[in-house]
């Protein structure tokens, strides 16, 4: 919040004397407002609302003074609210306005109204009252360089290290503005010189005023602050977050559990530039395109706060760099740094090239897979053809044996015809067996009858001459 106020400080100063803007002025600036990034428009809207409250408060005070002069006005403080009751001349209640006391305190501090602030503090209103962005009265007076207000708030126990939503302390604000006297008072009251905001900056990181910076660095040296301690402190929040997330992962917890605004741990790490945390979450395969209630993705957060390394890590993991939030804005639209915007466009090109290359690789793999299946089908077909040829050869041999009236036994041996053609049948039998046995050979040779044959029935060797004599005896 302090950062937003400082960004719009010039606009605030330009309108300080003008509490109410005319309609024509609002219309005239519309074109400029339309070209502002979303967060600047929001900050400007808050500024306008603050101005409206100032106008309302001023009118109320003027009206109250008038009524007091007439003796018809009363004021009362009730509980945690400041309530004003106004009555008309007839005595009937005509107006009843109630404000939270914290709002009244902040509004009075923003107007540098010492009297009203002192009155509210005396009545017990806490000096650490903050608005929805965490801004306290102490932050406000450090921005406005109001030394008296600062002393008053500290006297009533204001927290010297109060943090707004961006973790800016009053010392951050005073150092950024170069308000040396305020810096001295804050440090004397124990302000943390090593306080780190969400951008990872300490007060001395943000100080451009030479005298103020010299004073801060001298105080740091006096307290024994070393560069090692600075680095360790700067990364302490990131280390703690990483430790907590590792414990969540170990116990099986949800690494994508959103907070009340819908932001996941990856959103938070990306917004703060916690590189090691982002790396861990990406290794755990969390959703890189998760969105919060405003439809912001982690790349929106990284682009908005200018964390280029985080942006590149998210892009490498496939994060959508064209994602749009609820205001129809892409990461490039909300990025203020022109160099980072240029890099985002380069990352988009790299993502597209990677996508096309991956698509090409998938097409090549599909083509190779189809060729492999086709070759497998062809090899199978050749095997089938070979087996078919072998079957045909065996069947042909069987038919030949049957034509010669040769009986084929179950074990593959044959019994020749007993009609007197033993020798010729034996020769044909051997030729056929050779064909049967050699169907898998390159060539099959026909063999003549050997000196000894094996009879299928007796399995005993027989002599061809004896067979011939036996045939002659039978003929006789």
Boundaries of every domain in the chain = 2-20+38-196+215-223, 237-355, 404-475
* Distance (Å, whole) CA 41 – CA 373: 62
CATH topology of 2-20+38-196+215-223 equal to that of 237-355?
A: yes
Q: Which of 158-162, 301-305, 381-385 bottoms out in mean pLDDT, i.e. has the lowest?
A: 381-385
- The CATH number corresponding to 237-355 among 3.40.1230.10, 1.25.40.20, 1.10.579.10, 3.30.70.1140 equals 1.25.40.20
Residues 6+ apart with CB under 8 A from 216: 175, 183, 187, 193, 203, 204, 207
- Summarised one tens digit per residue, pLDDT across range 361-417 is 888 777 766 665 555 545 555 556 566 666 677 777 777 777 665 555 555 555 544
- Give, in order, the Cα–Cα distances in Å from 103 to each of 113, 155, 249, 322: 14, 20, 42, 40
The answer to whether residue 149 scores a pLDDT higher than 90 is yes
Region 214-229 average pLDDT:
94
Query: Can you give the pLDDT at residue 386?
Result: 61
β-pair type (414-415, 452-454): unpaired
* Distance (Å, whole) CA 238 – CA 276: 8
* H helix intervals, 294-337: 298-304, 308-316, 331-334
For residues 75 and 178, the model is more confident at 178
Q: pLDDT-derived band of residue 33, with 50, 70 and 90 as boundaries?
A: confident
pTM of this structure: 0.50
Percent of residues, the chain, with pLDDT higher than 90:
42
**Cβ atoms within 10 Å of 471's Cβ, excluding its own:** 13
Q: pLDDT-derived band of residue 131, with 50, 70 and 90 as boundaries?
A: confident
- Summarised one tens digit per residue, pLDDT across range 317-368 is 999 999 999 999 999 999 989 999 999 999 999 999 988 888 888 887 777 6
Query: Can you give the pLDDT at residue 168?
Result: 93
- Summarised one tens digit per residue, pLDDT across range 165-204 is 888 999 999 999 999 999 999 999 999 999 998 778 899 9
The answer to whether residue 83 scores a pLDDT higher than 70 is no
Query: Can you give the pLDDT at residue 76?
Result: 37
Region 29-49 average pLDDT:
74
Query: Can you give the pLDDT at residue 462?
Result: 42
pLDDT mean across residues, the chain:
76
For residues 137 and 429, the model is more confident at 137
Query: Can you give the pLDDT at residue 41?
Result: 73
Query: Can you give the pLDDT at residue 428?
Result: 52
Query: Can you give the pLDDT at residue 194?
Result: 94
Which of 49-53, 259-263, 461-465 ranks highest by mean pLDDT? Answer: 259-263
The answer to whether residue 39 scores a pLDDT higher than 80 is no
Q: What is the fold of 2-20+38-196+215-223?
A: 1.25.40
For residues 17 and 281, the model is more confident at 281
- Summarised one tens digit per residue, pLDDT across range 226-257 is 999 998 888 888 999 999 999 999 999 999 99
Q: pLDDT-derived band of residue 262, with 50, 70 and 90 as boundaries?
A: very high
3-state per-residue secondary structure call for 249-295: HHCCCCCCCCCCCCCCHHHHHHHHCCHHHHHHHHHCCCCCCCCCCCC
Q: How far apart are the first and last CA of the chain?
A: 136
């Amino acid at each position: 919040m302090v950062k937003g106020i400082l960004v719009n400080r010039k606009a605030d100063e330009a309108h300080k004397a003008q509490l109410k803007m005319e309609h024509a002025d609002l219309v005239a600036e519309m074109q400029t407002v339309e070209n502002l990034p979303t967060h600047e428009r929001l900050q400007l809207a808050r500024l306008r609302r603050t101005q409206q409250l100032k106008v309302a408060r001023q009118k109320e005070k003027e009206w109250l003074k008038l009524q007091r002069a007439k003796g018809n006005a009363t004021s009362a403080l009730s509980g945690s609210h400041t309530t004003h009751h106004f009555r008309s001349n007839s005595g009937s209640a005509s107006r009843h306005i109630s404000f939270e006391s914290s709002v009244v305190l902040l509004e009075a501090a923003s107007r540098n109204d010492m009297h009203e602030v002192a009155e509210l503090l005396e009545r017990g209103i806490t000096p650490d009252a903050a608005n929805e962005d965490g801004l306290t009265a102490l932050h406000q007076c450090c921005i406005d360089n109001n030394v008296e207000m600062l002393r008053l708030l500290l006297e009533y126990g204001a927290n010297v290290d109060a943090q707004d939503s961006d973790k800016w302390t009053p010392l951050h604000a005073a150092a950024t503005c170069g308000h040396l006297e305020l810096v001295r008072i804050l440090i004397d009251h124990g302000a943390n010189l090593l306080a780190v905001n969400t951008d990872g900056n300490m007060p001395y990181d943000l100080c451009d005023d030479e005298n103020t910076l010299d004073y801060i660095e001298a105080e740091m040296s006096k307290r024994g602050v070393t560069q090692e301690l600075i680095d360790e402190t700067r990364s302490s929040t990131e280390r703690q977050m990483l430790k907590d997330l590792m414990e969540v992962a170990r116990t099986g917890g949800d690494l994508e559990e959103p907070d009340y605004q819908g932001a996941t741990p990856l959103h938070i790490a990306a917004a703060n530039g916690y590189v090691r945390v982002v790396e861990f979450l990406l290794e755990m395969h969390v959703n890189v395109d998760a969105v919060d209630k405003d439809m912001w993705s982690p790349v929106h957060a990284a682009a908005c706060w200018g964390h280029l390394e985080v942006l590149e890590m998210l892009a490498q993991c496939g994060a959508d760099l064209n994602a749009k939030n609820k205001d129809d804005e892409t990461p490039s639209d909300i990025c203020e740094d022109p160099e980072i915007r240029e890099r985002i466009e380069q990352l988009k090109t790299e993502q597209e090239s990677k996508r096309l290359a991956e698509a090409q690789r998938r097409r090549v793999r599909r083509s190779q897979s189809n060729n492999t299946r086709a070759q497998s089908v062809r090899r199978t077909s050749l095997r089938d053809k070979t087996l078919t040829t072998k079957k045909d050869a065996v069947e042909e041999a069987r038919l030949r044996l049957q034509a010669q009236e040769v009986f084929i036994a179950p074990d593959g041996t044959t019994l020749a015809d007993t009609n007197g053609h033993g020798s010729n049948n034996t020769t044909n039998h051997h030729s056929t067996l050779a064909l049967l046995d050699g169907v898998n050979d390159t060539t099959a040779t026909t063999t003549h009858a050997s000196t000894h044959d094996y009879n299928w029935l007796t399995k005993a060797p027989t002599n061809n001459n004896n067979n011939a004599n036996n045939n002659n005896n039978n003929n006789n």
